[in-house]
DNA sequence: CGGCACGCTGGAAACGATTACATGATCGGA
DNA sequence: TCCGATCATGTAATCGTTTCCAGCGTGCCG
């Protein structure tokens, strides 16, 4: 492998000058620069970033730990993160926690050992000690989507409260009164917040949420199926189910279909997180859409700022309701209140 | 940051002994080992893998360059690759080429500069010079799913020929005679092979594929929509469309729905690559399923073998047809010939 | 004309680990 | 008792960069 020394020899200059010419830092004469550039070109020199990182203590790499790569929400997030990071000159290493605290710990630790310049994390478990250690360490950390309460890293997330209220209004308007929810893990902020907001919205409409109408899921499809089956076994089964993420909605759809029931005639269904497939399911699913790509971009910029020594900035972006047909045929004359209709 | 020197000082030993104790390479006395371990523990020592990699010239990292992270096929692949790599002690850096040759080049180059131990790549462009350089270089490379003909790196992929023949038989049995196909880019092996196999299967049934029934796509949803719109504008429109990947099938579904037509009554639809959403679309989509996770595992093992100096091994795994309802109600009495029915 | 500042360059010291080689201790066999 | 093998350990070189510092020439100003 051709190194900086080979370039120096070919150009008839010292390694110091070659390094300077290549990095354009301090002054190098035009003649020397030209010789270096042409030598590097003909030799096909590629810098060894490992050595460079050792010396500079910067890897120009950020880590992204997400809870589930198979979840389209997170892949879209990952994509926008990588895009923005690349634009800023960073590479991204993605760690997939699979909603498991131990895997999350593994990835956070492994990324730290790789001496990443900064970490973006969406904690699968709000109490992960490894992640907490990372936050209190010297490496900048930004939470995205989910966060760990009490830790002082900035958070970039979206606020679903308003959209959830719109959803409840929508359901109420269609005559649904017995509403149920499938939650995410209580260990995640999003898991807790969405059900809280749902409960609050219900009480605004004079409805209450009985314990039997709260199914606990883990943001994965299978848990959505199980929770829905439990709902369908109830003596008074709910007439609408709100799945707190897209995969659990998929599981719910499975369960409903397996019973030979139809959406929305027999039971209504809505989901948090909109994804490209929802317009195409049978029926198209009403969902709350987050500005996912924007979330990723903002998070990367916040992290880059932190790395550059700027002060931490948290951001909250609004989510909004997208009405489709899975809760019943919407009345075209009714106001949508910030919701999109498709 | 605490380094090996600090551990050495705390343990009252030299850095050499500490290194040996930590890596368990050569002989270290039990007493010394215990002292080192406890010192490392109390100091919270984490090795600097950057320094280690510089010295050993191994990063225990492999690169994975895929053509599109938003494609569920590739995310499933990425997931299984990461899982298997982790089991073998490797980390994975994923590069997303977004079906763009320049981005693919960027990622391959950037991964090489990071001195990854091996590269897994599914080329977006079968002629990418950067990727070709990588193959001829010293770093082991394994192609997965797609490959570059003529290069001598091993290939791990699945063979769709048999399943495509099953699909054509299925369509023929349902009475479809005017079949159309939406292809991937001719620059990809999968793009060419799938349409070739389709054409061959058609001629087996005495059918031919006119040029107007071949829509050229790029494996992304929008191209599927455009190709389908062109089909629907034809004086003799096809009665079945075979999209060569899942995203283009989604686009096709869009186009058909926008015209107010119904699947399969007005036009049949099938796709290459099965994904978790296909059972839930309206109607559920008949697709050819690859053993995606297995592909990822086998590819990682092949690459690890190559890194360890073992000879290269290519693998071909079979794909199979999964019959759903998007081509018409299947006759329950007809033989399925290796296909699954759902 | 002397001195100083400035621009360009090279030598050499880091960065934090691994590891070849040297050294000292211990032990067994002759 | 002495020698050589063996084992545990330490010293120092090394990986490929960046960067501090010193040196040297040149030009400008006093």
Cβ contact B113–A277 (<8 Å)? no
How many Å apart are B15 CA and D10 C1'?
Answer: 9
In sequence order, the 6+-apart residues with CB closer than 8 A to the CB of A311 are: A305
CB contact under 8 A, A277 and B281: yes
A221 chain-B contacts, CB cut-off 8 A: 276
Mean pLDDT of chain B: 93
pLDDT band, very low/low/confident/very high, at A329 (cuts 50, 70, 90): confident
Mean pLDDT of B252-256: 93
Nearest to B46 among A94, A112, A283 (CB): A112
DSSP state of A214: E
Residue A167: pLDDT band by 50, 70, 90 thresholds? very high
Bond before B283 cis per omega within 30 degrees: yes
Cα separation of the two ends of chain A? 57
What average pLDDT does this structure show over A60-78? 96
Comparing A34-43, A242-251, A328-337, B173-182, the range with the smallest average pLDDT is A328-337
Query: Which pLDDT band holds residue B317 (cuts at 50, 70, 90)?
Result: very high
pLDDT (0 to 100) of residue A1:
82
Contact A281 B282 (CB under 8 A): yes
Please name the nucleotide lying closest to A19, CA to C1': D18
pLDDT band at A330 (very low <50, low <70, confident <90, very high): low
Summarize the confidence of residues A152-167 as an average pLDDT.
Answer: 95
Say if residues A259 and A225 touch (Cβ distance below 8 Å): no
User: Do the Cβ atoms of A238 and A231 come closer than 8 Å?
Assistant: yes
- Cβ–Cβ contacts within 10 Å for residue B25, how many? 9
Task: Give bridge partners of residue B183 from the DSSP assignment.
Answer: B216
What pLDDT is stored for residue A126 in this prediction?
74
Cα–Cα distance measured from residue A249 to residue B195, given in angstroms and rounded to the nearest whole number = 35
Instruction: Give the pLDDT of residue B230.
Output: 97
Look at residue B138 in the predicted model and tell me its pLDDT. Answer: 93
> What was the pLDDT predicted at A333?
58
Average pLDDT over residues A253-276: 94
Indicate the residue of A69, A82, A109 with minimum beta-carbon distance to B79: A69
Two tokens, residue A102:
């131990």
Mean pLDDT value across residues B131-151 = 93
Alpha-helical runs (H) found in B114-208: 129-136, 161-173, 189-204
pLDDT band for position B76 (cuts 50, 70, 90): very high
* Integer Cα distance of B38 and B32 in angstroms: 10
Per cent of chain B over pLDDT 70 is 97
Q: Is the CB of A50 under 7 A from strand C?
A: no
To the nearest whole angstrom, how far is the Cα of B207 from the nearest Cα of chain A?
31
Among the partner residues B70, B79, B94, nearest to A76 by beta-carbon distance:
B70
Reported confidence tier of residue B140, pLDDT bands at 50, 70, 90: very high
Closest CA to B110 of A82, A328, A13: A82
Asked whether residue A335 carries a pLDDT value surpassing 60, the answer given is no
Dist CA A289 CA A301 (whole Å): 22
Task: Give the model's pLDDT for residue A296.
Answer: 98
Which pLDDT band, with edges at 50, 70 and 90, does A332 fall under?
A: low
Q: How far is CA A162 from the centre of its chain?
A: 20
The residues of the protein lying within 7 Å (CB) of strand D read: A 1, 3-5, 15-16, 19-20, 22-23, 25, 45, 47-48, 51-52, 54-56; B 12-17, 20, 26-29, 31-32, 51, 54-55, 57
What number of other Cβ atoms are within 10 A of residue A121's Cβ? 30
- List the Cα angle A15/A20/A25 in 5-degree steps: 160
**Interior CA angle at B109 toward B103 and B113, to 5°?**
145
Q: Which domains does chain B have, with CATH numbers?
A: 4-47 (1.10.260.40), 59-157+292-316 (3.40.50.2300), 159-291+321-341 (3.40.50.2300)
Mean pLDDT of B177-194: 95
Nearest residue in chain A measured CA to CA from B81? A96
Report pLDDT for B336. Answer: 60
User: Residue A26: what pLDDT?
Assistant: 73
Choose from B134, B280, B342 for mutation: most chain A CBs within 10 A.
B280
Residue A331 pLDDT greater than 60, yes or no:
no
Q: Which among A209, A222, A216 is positioned nearest to A249, based on CA atoms?
A: A222
Give the model's confidence band at B292: pLDDT under 50 very low, under 70 low, under 90 confident, else very high.
Answer: very high
Arithmetic mean of pLDDT over chain A: 93
Higher per-residue pLDDT: B128 or A323: A323
Q: Which residue is nearest to nucleotide C16 (CA to C1')?
A: B51
Is the confidence at residue B329, as pLDDT, over 90?
A: no
Per-residue pLDDT tens digits for A102-118: 999 999 999 999 999 99
How many interchain CB pairs under 8 A, A with B?
Answer: 100
pLDDT at position B105 over 60: yes
Backbone conformation region of residue B53, classed left if phi is above 0, alpha if psi is from -120 to 50, else beta: alpha
Mean pLDDT throughout B24-28?
Answer: 76
- What average pLDDT score do residues B187-211 get? 95
């Amino acid at each position: 492998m051709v190194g900086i020394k080979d370039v120096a020899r070919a150009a008839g200059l010292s390694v110091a000058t070659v390094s300077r010419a290549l990095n354009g830092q301090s002054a190098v004469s035009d003649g020397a620069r030209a010789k270096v550039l042409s030598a590097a070109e003909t030799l096909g020199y590629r810098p060894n970033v490992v050595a460079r990182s050792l010396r500079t203590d910067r890897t120009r790499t950020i880590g992204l730990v997400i809870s589930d790569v198979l979840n389209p929400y997170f892949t879209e997030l990952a994509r926008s993160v990588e895009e923005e990071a690349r634009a800023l000159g960073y590479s991204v290493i993605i760690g997939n926690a699979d909603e498991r605290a131990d895997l999350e710990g593994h990835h956070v630790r492994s990324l730290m050992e790789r001496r990443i310049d900064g970490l973006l994390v969406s904690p699968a478990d709000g109490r992960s000690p490894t992640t907490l250690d990372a936050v209190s360490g010297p490496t900048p950390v930004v939470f995205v989507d989910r966060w760990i309460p009490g830790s002082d890293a900035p958070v970039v997330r979206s606020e679903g409260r308003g959209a959830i209220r719109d959803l409840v209004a929508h359901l109420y308007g269609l005559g649904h009164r017995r509403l149920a929810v499938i939650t995410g893990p209580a260990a995640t902020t999003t898991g807790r917040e969405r059900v809280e907001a749902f409960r609050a919205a219900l009480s605004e409409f004079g409805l209450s949420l009985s314990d039997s109408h709260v199914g606990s899921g883990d943001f994965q499809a299978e848990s959505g199926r199980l929770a829905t089956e439990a709902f369908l076994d109830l003596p008074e089964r709910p007439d609408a189910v709100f799945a707190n993420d897209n995969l659990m909605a998929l599981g719910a759809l499975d369960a409903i279909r397996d019973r030979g029931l139809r959406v929305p005639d027999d039971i209504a269904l809505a989901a948090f997180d909109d994804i490209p497939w929802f317009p195409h399911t049978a029926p198209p699913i009403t969902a709350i859409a987050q500005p996912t790509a924007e979330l990723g971009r903002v998070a990367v910029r916040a992290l880059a700022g932190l790395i550059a020594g700027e002060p931490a900035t948290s951001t909250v972006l609004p989510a909004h309701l997208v009405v489709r047909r899975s809760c019943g045929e919407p009345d075209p004359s009714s106001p949508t209140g910030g919701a999109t209709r498709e």
